[in-house]
């Protein structure tokens, strides 16, 4: 099973042609280093999407709604995510049905 999350991230265009996602803290740290201000093409972030695999593992239990919900809850607890961190939550409909069920 795979638990994939999509995030909105801040990306910065660099003078070498790359665009990298980074935290504001990392951006400030780079900009404060000697000559670091020259690394950024523009100091204003570009909003972008990042898709991350939060968990990917073999699932040997029966693929019931309860077992999958428990697995998702455990994954969120390990990642220290809270219910309010999600805007939308969806699961493959397959045999299991929707998360809302």
- Max Cα–Cα distance, the chain, nearest Å: 57
> Does 86 score more than 70 pLDDT?
yes
* H-only helix segments in 1-101: 24-32, 65-78
Cα-based angle 61, 95, 3 (whole degrees, multiple of 5): 60
pLDDT for residue 82? 87
Residue 45 class from Cβ within 10 Å (0-12 exposed, 13-18 middle, 19+ buried)?
middle
Q: For the chain, give me the number of helices (H) and strands (E)?
A: 2, 3
pTM of the model: 0.63
Instruction: Tell me the per-residue pLDDT of 39-49, one tens digit each, with 9 for 90 and over.
Output: 888 889 999 99
């Amino acid at each position: 099973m795979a638990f994939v999350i999509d995030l909105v991230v801040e990306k910065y265009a660099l003078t070498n042609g790359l665009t990298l996602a980074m935290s504001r803290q990392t951006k400030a740290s780079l900009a404060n280093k000697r000559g670091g201000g020259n690394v950024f093409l523009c100091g204003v972030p570009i909003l972008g999407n990042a898709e991350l695999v939060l968990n990917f593992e073999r699932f040997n239990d029966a693929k019931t709604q309860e077992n999958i919900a428990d697995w998702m809850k455990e994954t969120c607890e390990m990642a220290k995510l809270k219910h309010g961190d999600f805007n939308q939550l969806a699961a493959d409909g397959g045999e299991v049905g929707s998360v809302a069920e």
